């Protein structure tokens, strides 16, 4: 049986100074280490130029490792078929991005929502109808056993009244239907005071994401209110409040990242380390990309990766958790079967990056009830990876053709959704670097 | 790490990496044992297929 094995195309490797190599499956995420001579021996064997090594090579062929595969297997076709099958036939989670408003009190120049219609706020009748719509939908799809509610905006806490109504209404609906339920909040953090935290904590609040872009001066230059009103001190005060209480297990601090603030990010991370709560802070870097409102922003991928890896190195040195991989897909809420972005006017979209742009609506809570699952064909172009398959790209399982919103921006509008968005250089640089940082000793 | 091309070199079988045809003066770690390949992180065949209930961070990181 094992004479028919070959190395999987879905693997990346880095060499260590010790003579060992780290090999990672981009499909299963398994990581193994072995001496480079052992790797060479395996290569000779699978190529028919040597005997089977005497060591435990069979482990590499286990389905949960996936580094050796049957020679006759077409990994790319199998991957795509499996992805589509799981997406269409194994979806058990409903993901609702709930937007009480698209307004925001901050004026970040890089925001992907800039250029859309941001004036509207949710009216009470939409709130009431949305519960009814969702109840009907859940009834139509009894296989759904989990309900993930994400409070999003704009800045959702500009409408604390709607947030409170929504969380209570959806939590009670989840209870009635015996669903596993939790809520998350994506916020700029300025209005996240203790009363709202206390309210959310009554409704399975499991995640909060708050953005800081650097130390005070840099943050206030990038993430300010009207007339350059500074926001850093209040946001940090609210983060400290969350860290000193038990309303939520951890605080996710998102750092929007590009070449203009990259050098200050390390200073921010060192500052956050002085809080002494590395156990309750999850850092993430949000690489600022081009947007429909500003399509020319992403910097050179190799340089971005170098700067990002430097920040992660500092984070590791400060005792923060560091991710061991960087992915740009293949799943996101926009591709998931049972997912929707509910806008303040009741319109539904698949991707929250297009909020406020009506050309990306695929329905409303009023008309959707008779239309089957939450489908926008623009987010189901699974053939967009054909070129990736042709190129035998090892990053395909971590990418799936890349972000559809990025493809829309690159393509100049909705038609771009049918194209892939390749960031292979960024994927390679980031994943090689994170692998070395995390497991390279 | 230099390869030994002289077949008379004083290198034992186990120092030859346990692999036929490979002649090197540098013995491989654990060359007699079964632990030559170390799994440093377990994987999952379903890892990339949305099988896990995750907080946030799907693809785009939100």
Instruction: Judge whether residue A186 has pLDDT over 60.
Output: yes
Look at residue A223 in the predicted model and tell me its pLDDT: 98
Inspect the interface and report whether the beta carbons of B50 and A90 lie closer than 8 Å: yes
Inspect the interface and report whether the beta carbons of A150 and B56 lie closer than 8 Å: yes
| Closest-CA residue to A14 (of A436, A439, A437) | A436
Nearest Cβ partner of A65 from B22, B43, B58? Answer: B43
Tell me how close the Cα of B16 comes to any Cα of chain A, in angstroms: 10
Nearest Cβ partner of A56 from B37, B44, B53? Answer: B37
Q: Which residues in chain B touch residue A249, judged by CB atoms under 8 angstroms apart? A: none
* Average pLDDT, rounded, for chain A: 94
Q: Is the model's pTM score more than 0.80?
A: yes
Instruction: Judge whether residue B52 has pLDDT over 70.
Output: no
Nearest Cβ partner of B37 from A57, A82, A335? Answer: A57
Look at residue A20 in the predicted model and tell me its pLDDT: 96
Instruction: Judge whether residue A365 has pLDDT over 60.
Output: yes
| Pair of tokens at residue A79 | 């991957």
Mean pLDDT of A93-115: 93
* Chain B CA closest to residue A404: B60
- A159-184: per-residue pLDDT in tens? 999 999 999 999 999 999 999 999 99
Contact residues of B toward A, CB < 8 A: 1, 17-22, 24, 26, 28-31, 33-51, 53, 55-62
Look at residue A119 in the predicted model and tell me its pLDDT: 78
DSSP for residue A366: T
Residues A308 and A65 sit within 8 Å (Cβ to Cβ) = no
Look at residue B21 in the predicted model and tell me its pLDDT: 35
User: Which has more pLDDT, B23 or A400?
Assistant: A400
Tell me how close the Cα of A22 comes to any Cα of chain B, in angstroms: 9
User: Which has more pLDDT, A289 or A280?
Assistant: A280
Look at residue B20 in the predicted model and tell me its pLDDT: 35
**Helices (runs of H) and strands (runs of E) counted in chain B:** 0, 1
Inspect the interface and report whether the beta carbons of B22 and A41 lie closer than 8 Å: yes
Instruction: Judge whether residue A202 has pLDDT over 50.
Output: yes
Mean pLDDT of A11-19: 96
pLDDT range class, residue B14, cuts 50, 70, 90: very low
Residues B18 and B1 sit within 8 Å (Cβ to Cβ) = no
- A63-83: per-residue pLDDT in tens? 999 999 999 999 999 999 999
Inspect the interface and report whether the beta carbons of A53 and B42 lie closer than 8 Å: no
Nearest Cβ partner of A30 from B28, B42, B60? Answer: B42
Instruction: Judge whether residue A248 has pLDDT over 70.
Output: yes
Return d(Cα A306, Cα A283) in angstroms, integer: 17
Mean pLDDT of A373-381: 94
Instruction: Judge whether residue B48 has pLDDT over 60.
Output: yes
Nearest Cβ partner of B53 from A30, A34, A93? Answer: A93
Inspect the interface and report whether the beta carbons of B37 and A34 lie closer than 8 Å: yes
* Chain B CA closest to residue A90: B51
pLDDT range class, residue A278, cuts 50, 70, 90: very high
Q: Above pLDDT 70, what percent of chain A? A: 98
Instruction: Judge whether residue A126 has pLDDT over 90.
Output: yes
Look at residue B26 in the predicted model and tell me its pLDDT: 39
pLDDT range class, residue B36, cuts 50, 70, 90: confident
Mean pLDDT of A304-321: 97
Tell me how close the Cα of A144 comes to any Cα of chain B, in angstroms: 12
Inspect the interface and report whether the beta carbons of B47 and A29 lie closer than 8 Å: yes
Environment class of A89 (CB within 10 Å of its CB; exposed 0-12, middle 13-18, buried 19+): exposed
Mean pLDDT of A294-314: 89
Return d(Cα B42, Cα A198) in angstroms, integer: 38
Mean pLDDT of A241-255: 97
């Amino acid at each position: 049986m094992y004479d028919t094995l070959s190395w999987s195309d879905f693997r990346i490797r880095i060499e260590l100074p010790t003579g060992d190599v780290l090999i990672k499956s981009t499909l299963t995420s398994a990581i193994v280490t072995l001496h480079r001579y052992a790797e060479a021996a395996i290569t000779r064997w699978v190529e028919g130029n040597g005997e089977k090594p005497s060591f435990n090579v069979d482990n590499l062929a286990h389905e949960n490792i996936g580094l050796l595969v049957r020679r006759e297997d077409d990994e790319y076709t199998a991957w795509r078929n499996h992805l589509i099958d799981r997406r269409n036939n194994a979806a058990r989670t409903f993901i609702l991005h709930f937007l009480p408003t698209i307004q925001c009190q901050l004026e970040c120049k890089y925001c992907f929502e800039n250029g859309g219609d941001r004036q509207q706020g949710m009216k009470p009748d939409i709130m009431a109808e949305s519960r009814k719509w969702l109840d009907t939908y859940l009834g139509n799809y009894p296989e759904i056993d989990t309900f993930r509610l994400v409070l999003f905006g704009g800045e959702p806490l500009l409408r604390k009244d709607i947030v409170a109504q929504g969380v209570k209404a959806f939590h009670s609906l989840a209870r009635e239907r015996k669903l596993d339920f939790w809520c998350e909040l994506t916020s700029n953090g300025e209005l996240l005071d203790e009363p709202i935290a206390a309210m959310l904590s009554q409704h399975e609040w499991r995640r909060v994401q708050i953005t800081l872009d650097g130390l005070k001066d840099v943050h206030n230059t990038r993430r300010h209110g009207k007339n350059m009103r500074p926001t850093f001190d209040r946001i940090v005060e609210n983060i400290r409040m969350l860290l000193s209480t038990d309303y939520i297990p951890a605080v996710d601090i998102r750092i929007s990242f590009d070449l203009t603030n990259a050098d200050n990010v390390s200073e921010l991370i060192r500052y956050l380390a002085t809080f002494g709560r590395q156990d309750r802070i999850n850092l993430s870097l949000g690489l600022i990309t081009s947007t429909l409102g500003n399509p020319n922003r992403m910097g050179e991928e190799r340089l971005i990766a170098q700067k990002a890896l430097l920040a992660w190195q500092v984070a590791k040195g400060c005792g923060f958790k560091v991710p061991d991989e960087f992915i740009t897909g293949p799943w996101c809420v926009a591709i998931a079967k049972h997912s929707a972005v509910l806008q303040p006017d009741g319109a539904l979209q698949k991707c929250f990056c297009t909020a406020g742009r009506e050309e990306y609506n695929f329905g409303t809570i009023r008309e959707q009830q008779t239309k089957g699952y939450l489908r926008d064909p623009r987010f189901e172009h699974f053939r967009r990876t054909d070129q990736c398959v042709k190129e035998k790209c090892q990053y395909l399982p971590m990418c799936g053709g890349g972000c559809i919103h990025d493809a829309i921006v690159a393509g100049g509008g909705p038609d771009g959704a049918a194209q892939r968005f390749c960031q292979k250089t960024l994927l390679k640089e980031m994943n090689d670097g994170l692998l070395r940082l995390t497991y390279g000793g | 790490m230099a390869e030994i091309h002289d077949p008379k070199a004083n290198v034992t079988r186990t120092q030859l990496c346990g692999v036929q045809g490979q002649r090197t003066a540098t013995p491989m770690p654990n060359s007699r044992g079964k632990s030559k390949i170390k799994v440093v992180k377990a994987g999952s065949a379903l890892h990339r297929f949305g099988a896990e209930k995750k907080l946030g961070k799907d693809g785009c990181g939100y």
